[in-house]
Amino acid sequence: MAETNSATFPHVSRPPHAIIPDEPPDSAAADVNLDHMELLIKFSVPDHFPEMDQELHDYATRLHADSMLRAPCYLYETLALSARRLSIVDPENAEKHCRYAVNLQTKAISLYNRYVSTVKIDNVNCVPIIQFASLLGRHLLIDVLAKREADLNVFIDHYVESVRIHSGIKLITHAAWPFLIDSGMQNFLLWAGSLQSAQAVGAECDPLRNLISSMSGLDSAIMDAFQTAIRTLQVGFDLMRTESDRNCRYWSVFAWSVAAPEEFTNMLAQRRPEALVFLAYFGVLLHYSRDQWQVGTSGSYLINAVSQHLGSDWSEILSYPMSVLTTDPLV
């Protein structure tokens, strides 16, 4: 068992919410009530983590229940994400569910920041806090993918901001790592590690490799950032092709934004055309995963938006993403 040390959890910034206007917390974030019970009942691990196979879903469900009892911030973020899902699958009540999602998430972040100001990382609190970070990071991605901005620049601003917040969340994992390896998260760490270390073997990303090799004067950090983005995308395409009957085919959809190095995110913020091309290839993975409520039609939106933004000069390298919208061979 790991011994308690002096390491602390980092704080988390409150994410911007562009789905509905900022509002002061209302009854949606008050003490637990019947509305919260409905959200809790309608939350299931398979619905929110579709990339996990059945054996992991069963284990995660047990761990999830234990963590809600240990960490109120995780309970409130569970309720927030449940409300976010209902805003999509129950469109008639979307506004109410969105408001609940915003207020409950705000409450969850407040509880988290208050809690980590008073504790050190140990082998007990590391699991629910890591689960909170994972759930919050997923919530951020879902909010961004739900946007259909006419101007790609607006989407990129929201996407970059969410990734940067999520990058702060990644610090939680690094801080807690010595405890996590001996915790109840071990099964998930082994599973995620096996996917993260998988060798990329397919050819879907060859145009991206050729693009990067043709760019002169790249420093090593930027080259490494591009290479990391390519490998994670290609592993995603490989999983879609070879694991079409297993849930892990969705892994890269949720992992790519998390795995993106800071240098790559900065290139997106700068509107580097090469980075935007990568975003279109990520859109292909989203398009192949459009049956998931977290994704919907975000893939086709992103591919078309990048193509229109970059124009005809980039049509050749974007021919594969654009062709997927009509041929869709893997679905």
88-92's contacts with Cβ under 8 Å and 24+ in sequence apart are: 88/146, 88/293, 88/296, 89/293
d(CA 160, CA 104): 23
Domains of the chain, residue spans: 27-194, 198-327
Element containing residue 209 per DSSP (H, E): helix 206-213
The pTM (predicted TM-score) of the whole model is 0.88
Model confidence band, residue 327 (pLDDT cutoffs 50, 70, 90)? confident
Q: State mean pLDDT over 164-190.
A: 80
Q: State mean pLDDT over 7-15.
A: 67
Tens-digit pLDDT profile for residues 281-299: 999 999 999 999 999 999 9
Task: Report pLDDT for 1.
Answer: 40
Model confidence band, residue 23 (pLDDT cutoffs 50, 70, 90)? very low
Please determine, for residue 26, whether its predicted confidence score (pLDDT) is greater than 70: no
Please determine, for residue 226, whether its predicted confidence score (pLDDT) is greater than 90: yes
d(CA 169, CA 122): 17
Mean pLDDT of the chain: 86
